[in-house]
Amino acid sequence: MLKGKHILLGVTGGIAAYKSCYLVRELKKAGADVKVIMTDAATRFVAPLTFSTLSEHEVAVDLWSENQSTRSEIGTRHIDLAAWADVLLVAPASANTIAKMTFGLADNLLTVIALACRAPLILAPTMDADMFLNETTRRNLDLLNERGVFVIPPAEGEHASRLHGPGRLPEIDVIVRYVEGVLEKSYQDFRSASILVTAGPTHEPIDPVRFLGNRSSGKMGFAVARAAAMRGASVTLISGPVHLETPRHVKRINVETADEMQKAVMEQVGSADVVIMAAAVADFKPEKPHRGKIKKIPGEVPDVKLISNVDILMALGEKKNGKLLVGFALETENELEHAREKLKTKNLDLIVLNSLQDEGAGFGSETNVVTFLDPDGNTERLPKQSKFDVANSLLDRIRLKLKK
């Protein structure tokens, strides 16, 4: 997998920088071509000469290198390096560099390249346990991960400071395997696929100001759309009302109600090979939304009659036309049983079960705990992961089913 691959390795300031020398050696042994960029702080821990000897390339440190003789060389070096990379791996990634990347600062060669690079970015956060557990660092990593940056969970153990906890650089072979996994995905394994994703809640109007809704944040569906686009799929995302950025290279269609979502799905589904219904479509809607705002009358409550919404997924399952259909199920009790029932009645190829019972799962959370179920009776429960990682695991399973 690594043979002939271009790995741009960013090394930031931290005592673990010395371990990255072994990382270069292992990546090279596996056949990769490695170029190293160091931050100023990293050079305080390890000399650039060590990395240039191991990588057999000049080490880039300075954005304004004096070795660059012409203006144009200085002007485009970061773009050339960014374009060269099949993957940008930052290991160790310090809290400072992570914070800069979160806010798009570009004040050294590494952070400039991180902005310019189209290849996947992998971070191996490495720092003292308290710095790693600090809310700011956690939030920064969540934001980056939400935007499609891969984050390798750090190892736990004793730090140079003698503190115990998470924040240590993972073992070298763990990092190498992670890079292989990302390269496999960025291999554009969905290049010829067209994927339709729905996300978010629907809002069913009661009157012009009030609606019936649910707590879906849309994060899971957006993560699926982002991951699929990164893996080369042509992605259409039909989204209910949410406050999320549209992932790069994704065509987004905004809707409010279940009826609007159904109309958009039916318009877009023709060209799709895969439909992933991550939206929490409201099952009921007020029969007749009031034209004007319902006024409060003392001693009275309005009588809002509810009727059923269309079940979009059920309708798709009745006429599959060779499409692969994936549903989500959010359950609070008898989870597996209910999910299996939905898989069958909606004629799905895969269902992703979330249980509200699980800590770190469900609405608004950055992480998810899911179980995949398929019609062959396979049941696979994944450990707690970020929604972006769950999205990639889901796509891995879908790829296998498409191959069949």
Work out how close the CB of 250 gets to ligand CTP at its nearest, in angstroms, rounded to a whole number.
18
Q: E strands along 73-218, which residues?
A: 87-93, 121-125, 150-151, 155-158, 164-168, 194-199, 204-205, 211-212
What phi and psi values does residue 298 have, to the nearest 5 degrees? -50, 130
Is residue 343 within 8 Å of 325, Cβ to Cβ? no
196 binds ligand CTP (CB under 6 A): no
Work out how close the CB of 147 gets to ligand CTP at its nearest, in angstroms, rounded to a whole number.
24
Residues 110-149 touching ligand CTP, rule: CB under 6 A, are: none
- Binds ligand CTP by CB under 6 A, chosen from 281, 350, 361, 398: 281
Is residue 387 within 8 Å of 361, Cβ to Cβ? no
Work out how close the CB of 313 gets to ligand CTP at its nearest, in angstroms, rounded to a whole number.
3
C-alpha torsion 262→268→274→279, nearest 10: -30
Which lies closer to ligand CTP via its Cβ, residue 186 or residue 347? Answer: 347
Work out how close the CB of 239 gets to ligand CTP at its nearest, in angstroms, rounded to a whole number.
12
Q: What does the block give as tokens for 244?
A: 């999320």
Helix and strand totals (H; E) in the chain:
14, 21
In the three-class reduction of DSSP (H, G, I as helix; E, B as strand; rest coil), residue 48 is classed as helix
Residues 321-350 touching ligand CTP, rule: CB under 6 A, are: 327-330, 342
Site string for ligand CTP, 293-312 (x = CB under 6 A): ----------------x-xx
- Binds ligand CTP by CB under 6 A, chosen from 279, 353, 390, 398: 279
Which lies closer to ligand CTP via its Cβ, residue 39 or residue 216? Answer: 216
Is residue 390 within 8 Å of 368, Cβ to Cβ? yes
283 binds ligand CTP (CB under 6 A): yes
Q: Which of 123, 169, 173 is nearest to 18 (CA)?
A: 169
134, 214, 254, 347: which is the annotated catalytic residue?
214
Enumerate residues 6+ apart whose C-beta is below 8 A from 322.
Answer: none
> Is 214 an annotated catalytic residue?
yes
Which lies closer to ligand CTP via its Cβ, residue 51 or residue 328? Answer: 328
Q: Where are the alpha helices (DSSP H) in 147-218?
A: 172-185
Which lies closer to ligand CTP via its Cβ, residue 23 or residue 277? Answer: 277
Work out how close the CB of 316 gets to ligand CTP at its nearest, in angstroms, rounded to a whole number.
8
Work out how close the CB of 202 gets to ligand CTP at its nearest, in angstroms, rounded to a whole number.
8
258 binds ligand CTP (CB under 6 A): yes
313 binds ligand CTP (CB under 6 A): yes
Enumerate residues 6+ apart whose C-beta is below 8 A from 106.
Answer: 100, 112, 114, 115
* H-helix or E-strand spanning residue 327: strand 324-331
Binding positions for ligand CTP, rule: CB under 6 A? 258, 277, 279, 281, 283, 309, 311-313, 327-330, 342
The catalytic site residues sit at: 214
